[in-house]
Structure 1
Amino acid sequence: MQNQELFSSIPMRTWRWLGVNGAALPAGLDVAEVQKIHVKAGEKKEAVQIYREGGHAEIEAHVEAGGTLSLVKVQLVPEGEDHADDVKVCVEEGGAFSYTIFEVGANELVSKLSVELAGKDAAADIAAFYFADKKRKFDFNYLVRQRGEHTDANMQVKGALMDEAQKVFRGTLDFIAGSAGSVGRENEDVIVLSPGVRNRSVPLMLSGEGDVDGHHAVSIGKMDEAKLFYLMSRGLDLAEARRLVVEADLFPVLARISDEALKEEIAASIEGRIGDAD
């Protein structure tokens, strides 16, 4: 049961029957815990947020001119609990925001990201990996608004689904009038491990400015049979081969963080579950 009010919605609505226009908060997650991050002009700051229990969290970050914020989010909430989070970031002239995301827990997840590239030459680099199995429901809504001239946005999302998991991903690049010379790239790669999953991907590009360079794509598919045949011909069983293929997407995202123990925990949290796919 969900609350009636929408927590997250797509900037440009589509057919209602698709079920991708918005998402409500899971029941009982009304009150958000707010964390504020302020990066001063020219300053470099790193932050790691790890979620090990259900709840509703909110992060508000402001990166002043020339500042750099590197944020890592790791969601390891137990299977029987729900989680929601809302990350809002404003980046001023010449500032940079790096966001690395791992979503591998929770029963029901609703995650929202909004980035404003407000100043000239502001940049955002977003890399995410998700893994959903059993009857988990994941809902993502990532939005980058490019307002300043010559801004740069890069959104790369990878994930795997198995059993009866459901996932909605909305990824939007919005070039606002006045963002001349800006570049935006958005891509999602989804690996389907079971026939019973439901995947919905909604890449969206909006533009009120003519002089921009935007690219978006989605790749959805079952395990590459050629890769599986090659790996199994080298003595691996099916479960091991599946793990290697999924890890090929996971490891480049893991490489963005330096905490070796945390890397091992993330990998271990999904390793055994992949072997149980149908």
Structure 2
Amino acid sequence: MEQNVFSRIPLRTWNWLGVNEVRLPDGLQKITAKGRTATPAVETLEESAAGTDGKDFIKTGTGKAQRFFVAAGETAEKIAVFRKEELAEICAEVAEGGTLCLTCIQLAPEDRAFAGKVRIRAAKDAKVKFTAVEAGASETVTEVRIELEGDGSSADVAVAYFGDGERKIDMNYIIVQQGKDTEAEMQARGVLKDASDKIFRGALDFRRGSKGSAGREKEEVVLLNEGVRNRSVPLMLSQEDAVNGQHAVSAGRLDRAKWFYLMSRGLDEKAAQKLMAGSLFAPVLERIPDTELQREIMACIEERIADGEV
């Protein structure tokens, strides 16, 4: 069972909560059945492929880890779109004063599993903007770990997720703040319906020496019906006194007053739900530097909101 542990929470809690480990989905365990770790070998690298419109799309579906380096003072914008079952990993290093904008979109088939790791290290005054959407696969597990090693480095992280049917979504997001005067922003926005099951762990880890650093983490999740299982694990760790950390979670059914207002304007129940879900996801989707992808994601979510009973 140990080899099927994909990720761990930074600080363990009660086992009965079921949030201490992220386990590899059954559909992906065959990849590690011969003793491999639950991560592709990072020594095996693939180059990114630049699109005709200038966007840099990372090759996916190769079974190989992707690693790249952002040079000092340079800016890189990369997009990864995952459309099939796979065990994926992206590793990046951002040198002094560099900027990385990384977008990861998961749209795997609904009868397949997906596991993905993202690991980023940021040097002095480096900036990381990471955007993710989890909208596919029957079972999804992800780990995102950003290490702000250099003084004045920053991370701006946003993820949107949608669960329906019996989908399982298990996410472990960690920002480690090591340098002085680092800044971290983490937001998660989700919609759950039917009998979907979701865990989101959002950790801000202030290490010794991170004096003057600040971090904020917030999750908002809308439950479209009873029967979903929602677990939110905001976590703040600190080895330094002079830091400023904040976290908040908002979870519940659609605001009835807003719902009835929209319906009084001629929208039916599901149309109102689509509109409110679109409003919730907009701050994340607007960060995606490809309008075609934005439209594809929202069309997929709207179709599934409309499907079945609510």
TM-score class normalised by the smaller sequence: over 0.9
| Whole-Å separation in 1 of the counterparts to 2:125 and 2:289 | 25
Classify the secondary structure of the residue corresponding to 1:156: strand
How many correspondences in the alignment?
277
Residue identity opposite 1:199 in structure 2 = N
| Whole-Å separation in 2 of the counterparts to 1:23 and 1:251 | 28
Matched, 1:260 2:291: yes
| Whole-Å separation in 2 of the counterparts to 1:28 and 1:153 | 36
Matched, 1:47 2:78: yes
How far off is 1:4 after superposition?
5.3
- Out of 160, 166, 169, the position equivalent to 2:191 is 160
Alpha carbons 1:194, 1:277 under 8 Å: kept = no
Matched, 1:174 2:176: no
Alpha carbons 1:164, 1:196 under 8 Å: kept = yes
Provide the residue aligned with 1:194 in structure 2.
Answer: 225
Residue identity opposite 1:170 in structure 2 = R
Provide the residue aligned with 2:20 in structure 1.
Answer: 21
- Structure 1: runs of 5 or more not aligned: none
Provide the residue aligned with 1:228 in structure 2.
Answer: 259
Residue identity opposite 2:150 in structure 1 = G
| Whole-Å separation in 2 of the counterparts to 1:252 and 1:4 | 37
- Out of 268, 273, 276, the position equivalent to 2:304 is 273
Provide the residue aligned with 2:173 in structure 1.
Answer: 142
How far off is 1:28 after superposition?
2.6
Q: Please give the residue correspondences for 1:46-65 in structure 2 after superposition, counting only pairs within 5 Å.
A: 46-65=77-96
Provide the residue aligned with 2:36 in structure 1.
Answer: none
| Whole-Å separation in 1 of the counterparts to 2:8 and 2:217 | 18
Residue identity opposite 2:280 in structure 1 = D
TM-score, scaled relative to structure 2: 0.87
Provide the residue aligned with 1:73 in structure 2.
Answer: 104
Runs of 4+ residues over 6 Å off in structure 1: none
Classify the secondary structure of the residue corresponding to 1:86: strand
Provide the residue aligned with 1:129 in structure 2.
Answer: 160
Per-residue CA distance 1:144-196 (angstroms, 9 max, x = gap):
00000000000000000000000011110000011010000000001001211
| Whole-Å separation in 2 of the counterparts to 1:99 and 1:117 | 13
| Whole-Å separation in 1 of the counterparts to 2:77 and 2:65 | 17
| Whole-Å separation in 2 of the counterparts to 1:186 and 1:178 | 21
How far off is 1:212 after superposition?
0.4
Higher relative contact order (CA 8 A, sep 6+): 1
Classify the secondary structure of the residue corresponding to 2:279: helix
Provide the residue aligned with 2:240 in structure 1.
Answer: 209
> Residues 86, 173 of structure 1: CA spacing in aligned structure 2 closer, same or farther, 3 A cutoff?
same
Provide the residue aligned with 2:69 in structure 1.
Answer: 38
Per-residue CA distance 1:190-209 (angstroms, 9 max, x = gap):
10012111010000000000
Residue identity opposite 2:293 in structure 1 = L
> Residues 277, 193 of structure 1: CA spacing in aligned structure 2 closer, same or farther, 3 A cutoff?
farther
Provide the residue aligned with 1:96 in structure 2.
Answer: 127
Classify the secondary structure of the residue corresponding to 2:200: strand
Identical residues among aligned pairs (%)? 48
Alpha carbons 1:162, 1:277 under 8 Å: kept = no
Residue identity opposite 1:156 in structure 2 = Q
CA RMSD of the aligned region, Å?
1.1
Please state which structure has a larger fraction of its residues in strand: 1
| Whole-Å separation in 2 of the counterparts to 1:258 and 1:117 | 24
